[in-house]
Amino acid sequence: MIKLEKKGAILILVHLKVRRRINISFLLADLKERYGTGSSTFYSALAILENLGLVKEEILYREGRRNRIIELTNKGDLIAGKLMEINQILQL
């Protein structure tokens, strides 16, 4: 659980629960705009989530460009759902 305390990790999980699959660059830009998440914080949190098996990355090549797509694993989806439930309870 301590690893989920890394700044940005919970934001990434919850954001992916809503968006499902997203280009990593778009995810970083969105979190930076909404929460001020920096790129080093983002990528270190993303690495932790990948090591925990909560997110997975797919690399797609389109029109000669490399696109990194990130999405939740089944376990990541369950955890993100629980985090959203906790957030709803806190807002009561």
Supply the CATH number for residue 61's domain. Answer: 1.10.10.10
Is 50 in a helix, a strand, or coil?
helix
Instruction: Round to whole Å and give the CA distance between 50 and 86.
Output: 23
Condensed to tens digits (0 to 9), the pLDDT of residues 18-44 reads: 988 999 999 999 989 988 888 998 999
Q: Which two tokens stand for residue 28?
A: 């970083």
In the predicted model, what is the mean pLDDT of the chain? 89
Count how many domains the chain has: 1
Domain that holds residue 20: 2-90
Which pLDDT score is estimated for 1? Answer: 52
Q: What sign does the dihedral 50-25-17-72 (CA atoms) show? A: negative
pTM of the model: 0.83
Is 3 in a helix, a strand, or coil?
helix
Which pLDDT score is estimated for 63? Answer: 85
Condensed to tens digits (0 to 9), the pLDDT of residues 4-13 reads: 666 788 889 9
Residue 57 predicted with pLDDT over 80: yes
Task: From 75, 83, 74, 86, select the one nearest 10 (Cα to Cα).
Answer: 83
